[in-house]
């Protein structure tokens, strides 16, 4: 209990990690059930029987919500900064410790509320994690759209509140609590990432909070922000309204697209730091990387319409959003090219965290490259909502995000337990995960090109089937099983290392330069964060040591 209600940021980081672990295990199990249902539709599940189409859609909705909010946002944007951000800027505490811990309790309440949707009378909502109205606004449109949908909205509203509070604290901490000498141009790129993603969080989650409140009002207070006149559900005319579902699409995606960058920017910061460390070379063009990070954040606020090319929006708007979307590819490409250059400048130390950083890079490229295709309205008009898009975001957001999380966990694990994780197990975990993740998500491009839409409970329909895709689907399913099974190695590694099976780590086991490894309580900084291989006196110069030791 004392642990739960702590205001210590490191204890909160652990709480967030446990919360993220619960969410990722649940979300993964849901995705495996989805794969089983798609591959063997008639198979009876224990305690449940065969899955109905609405059960499948409930799995999709809950999988997406858990993974996007409680894994890909919570871990990189809440757990990691609580773990290392204060130390990286040389302070002993956050700017607003109580606000910070309140954010955790609200996040935990949000997760419980979301999971409670499974217990709702008609089950969890079935309208996907984007929950477009009127499907999400009128309970009669389907099972799960009653109490289940209310719980989802409540959960998301709570989550928004927590995310905003948590980010306010991070912003204030970065601005106000840097140690002497740590100017903005001496910040590690992880801190720049958190600065950008925190600003994005405050803006984006405010929009979602408003959208959720308005939708709850439409459902229970007789308003019609998202409901037009003339709707007939199951032959029953609905009360007249004066709104439009388009308002939800705009508000949701005004949140939804920055959210992608909130999830991935911290990973990009981790990749930069780890590549510098494990190549023993500084980040080249540090200022360019900072600029790219800020540009991605800024442009990320203006691209939401690319989720709406086929919504019937004015086609000129499609052109405009296509242009802003392509524009964001430029700073992203700049970062990728810089990382590639780093690999060819230094001496690689292929530790487990480095391998996962390389895995992040591999997925970020693989998923990122289909971005410019989907950014073209003319091509998206075919690919929208097909499995091509599912492949795209699972590679660029989910796999790249998760691999950067693994990189961070393996890297910072000694800060939590004083021990490194087992390297052999770590490498096995990496290689199986890498191959299985490609095996799972790469073939989805092909299903998408064949025109297979998302959210289909079965591939058979009254007119036509995607029967020729069934072998591909089966391969994806087996690969997904392998991917999930590989994570057991990771869990075993955490457990083993925590039980002191690995030797104690040195104070700065990775020979890093950033302040979280200093062990000094009041450091003074006189130089930049990545002084590897450039000093005559040794291999690296930590930020807590003065520029010229002799």
Angle (nearest 5°) at CA 257 between 255 and 260: 110
Using the 8-state DSSP alphabet, how is residue 93 labeled? S
To the nearest whole angstrom, how small is the minimum distance from the Cβ of residue 472 to other proteins?
10
Q: Binding of other proteins at residue 134 (CB under 8 A)? A: yes
Among 110, 196, 386, 433, binds other proteins (CB under 8 A): 386
Residue 48: strand, helix, or coil: coil
HEC string of 262-316? Answer: HHHHHHHHHHHHHHHHHHCCCCCCHHHHHHHHHHHHHHHCCCHHHHCCCCCCCHH
Among 162, 361, 409, 484, binds other proteins (CB under 8 A): 361
Among 39, 217, 244, 526, binds other proteins (CB under 8 A): 244
Residue 530-549 contact track with other proteins, rule CB under 8 A, x = bound: ---xx---------------
Among 4, 43, 45, 340, binds other proteins (CB under 8 A): 340
Among 86, 90, 128, 305, binds other proteins (CB under 8 A): 128
To the nearest whole angstrom, how small is the minimum distance from the Cβ of residue 283 to other proteins?
12
Q: Binding of other proteins at residue 474 (CB under 8 A)? A: no
Instruction: Please tell me the count of residues contacting other proteins according to CB under 8 A.
Output: 99
**Dihedrals phi, psi of 544, to nearest 5 degrees:** -85, 0
Q: Binding of other proteins at residue 384 (CB under 8 A)? A: yes
- Binding window for other proteins (CB under 8 A); candidates: 17-25, 111-119, 204-212, 230-238: 230-238
Distance CA 129, CA 155 (A): 12
Among 48, 93, 98, 345, binds other proteins (CB under 8 A): 345
- Write out the binding residues for other proteins, residues 26-85 only, by CB under 8 A: 52-54, 57, 60
The closest of 265, 380, 262 to 315, measured between CA atoms, is 380
To the nearest whole angstrom, how small is the minimum distance from the Cβ of residue 232 to other proteins?
5
Among 337, 485, 488, 501, binds other proteins (CB under 8 A): 337
Among 97, 181, 302, 372, binds other proteins (CB under 8 A): 372
- Binding window for other proteins (CB under 8 A); candidates: 102-110, 149-157, 200-208, 277-285: 277-285
- DSSP states of 316-369 as a string? HHHHHHHHHHHHHHHHHHHHHHHHHHHHTTS-----HHHHHHHHHHHHHHHHHH
Among 73, 107, 141, 487, binds other proteins (CB under 8 A): 141
β 236-237/49-50 pair status: unpaired
Q: Binding of other proteins at residue 142 (CB under 8 A)? A: yes
Among 233, 294, 498, 520, binds other proteins (CB under 8 A): 233
The closest of 203, 199, 191, 195 to 83, measured between CA atoms, is 191
Let me know: does 410 contact 426? Beta carbons within 8 Å.
yes
- The span from the first CA to the last CA of the chain, in angstroms, equals 50
Among 181, 284, 302, 509, binds other proteins (CB under 8 A): 284
Distance CA 253, CA 463 (A): 33
Residue 237: strand, helix, or coil: strand
Using the 8-state DSSP alphabet, how is residue 43 labeled? P
Among 11, 203, 415, 446, binds other proteins (CB under 8 A): 446
Q: Binding of other proteins at residue 348 (CB under 8 A)? A: yes
Residue 122 gets the label, from left (phi > 0), alpha (psi -120 to 50) or beta, of alpha
To the nearest whole angstrom, how small is the minimum distance from the Cβ of residue 356 to other proteins?
13
> Residue 534 belongs to what H/E stretch?
none
Residue 226: strand, helix, or coil: coil
Among 177, 280, 427, 474, binds other proteins (CB under 8 A): 280
Distance CA 541, CA 281 (A): 11
To the nearest whole angstrom, how small is the minimum distance from the Cβ of residue 388 to other proteins?
10
Please say whether the dihedral angle defined by the alpha carbons of residues 82, 85, 88 and 94, taken in this order, is positive or negative: negative
Q: Binding of other proteins at residue 475 (CB under 8 A)? A: no
Q: Binding of other proteins at residue 320 (CB under 8 A)? A: no
Residue 142: strand, helix, or coil: coil
Smaller CB separation from other proteins, 181 or 346: 346
Among 11, 22, 102, 449, binds other proteins (CB under 8 A): 449
Distance CA 543, CA 527 (A): 6
Smaller CB separation from other proteins, 81 or 125: 125
Residue holding tokens 């790249």? 400
To the nearest whole angstrom, how small is the minimum distance from the Cβ of residue 230 to other proteins?
5
Pseudo-torsion of CA 243, 248, 250, 255, nearest 10°?
150
- Binding window for other proteins (CB under 8 A); candidates: 11-19, 160-168, 335-343, 523-531: 335-343
């Amino acid at each position: 209990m004392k642990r739960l209600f702590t205001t210590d940021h490191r204890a909160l980081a652990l709480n967030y990690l446990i919360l993220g672990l619960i969410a990722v295990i649940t979300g993964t199990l849901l995705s495996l059930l989805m794969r089983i249902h798609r591959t063997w539709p008639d198979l009876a599940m224990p305690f449940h029987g065969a899955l109905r189409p609405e059960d499948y859609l409930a799995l999709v909705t809950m999988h997406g919500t858990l993974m996007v909010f409680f894994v890909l946002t919570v871990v990189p944007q809440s757990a990691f900064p609580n773990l290392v951000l204060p130390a990286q800027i040389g302070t002993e505490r956050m700017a607003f410790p109580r606000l910070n811990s309140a954010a955790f309790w609200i996040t935990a309440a949000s997760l419980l509320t979301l999971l409670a949707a499974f217990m709702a009378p008609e089950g969890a909502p079935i309208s996907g994690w984007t929950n477009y109205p009127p499907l999400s606004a009128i309970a009669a449109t389907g099972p799960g759209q009653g109490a289940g949908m209310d719980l989802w909205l409540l959960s998301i509203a709570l989550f928004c509140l927590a995310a905003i509070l948590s980010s306010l604290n991070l912003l204030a901490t970065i601005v106000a609590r840097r140690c002497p000498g740590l100017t903005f141009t001496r910040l590690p790129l992880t801190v720049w990432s958190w600065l950008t993603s925190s600003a994005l969080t405050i803006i984006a989650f405010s929009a979602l909070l408003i959208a959720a409140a308005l939708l709850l009002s439409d459902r229970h207070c007789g308003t019609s922000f998202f409901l037009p006149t003339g709707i007939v559900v199951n032959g029953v005319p609905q009360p007249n309204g004066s709104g439009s579902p388009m308002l939800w699409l705009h508000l949701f995606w005004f949140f939804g697209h920055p959210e992608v960058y909130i999830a991935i920017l911290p990973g990009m910061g981790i990749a930069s730091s780890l590549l510098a460390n494990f190549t023993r070379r500084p980040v080249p063009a540090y200022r360019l990387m900072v600029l790219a990070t800020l540009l991605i954040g800024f442009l990320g606020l203006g691209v939401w319409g690319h989720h709406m090319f086929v919504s019937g929006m004015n086609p000129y708007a499609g052109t405009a959003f296509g242009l802003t979307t392509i524009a964001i590819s430029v700073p992203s490409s700049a970062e990728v090219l810089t990382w590639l250059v780093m690999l060819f400048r230094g001496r690689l130390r292929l530790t487990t965290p480095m391998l996962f950083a390389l895995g992040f890079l591999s997925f970020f490229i693989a998923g990122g490259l289909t971005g410019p295709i989907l950014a073209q309205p003319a091509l998206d008009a075919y690919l929208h909502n097909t499995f091509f898009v599912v492949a795209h975001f699972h590679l660029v957001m989910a796999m790249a995000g998760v691999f950067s999380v693994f990189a961070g966990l393996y890297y910072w694990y000694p800060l939590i337990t004083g021990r490194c994780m087992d390297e052999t197990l770590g490498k096995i975990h990496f290689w199986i995960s890498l191959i299985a993740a490609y095996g799972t998500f790469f073939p989805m491009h092909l299903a998408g090109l064949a025109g297979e839409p998302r959210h289909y409970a079965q591939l058979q329909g009254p007119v036509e089937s995607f029967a020729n895709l069934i072998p591909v689907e089966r391969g994806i399913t087996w690969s997904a099983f392998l991917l999930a099974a590989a994570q057991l190695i990771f869990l075993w590694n955490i457990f083993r290392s925590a039980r002191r099976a690995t030797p104690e780590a040195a104070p700065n086991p990775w020979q890093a330069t950033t302040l979280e490894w200093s062990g000094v309580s009041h450091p003074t900084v006189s130089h930049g964060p990545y002084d590897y291989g450039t000093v005559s006196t040794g291999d690296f110069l930590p930020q807590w040591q003065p520029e010229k030791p002799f």
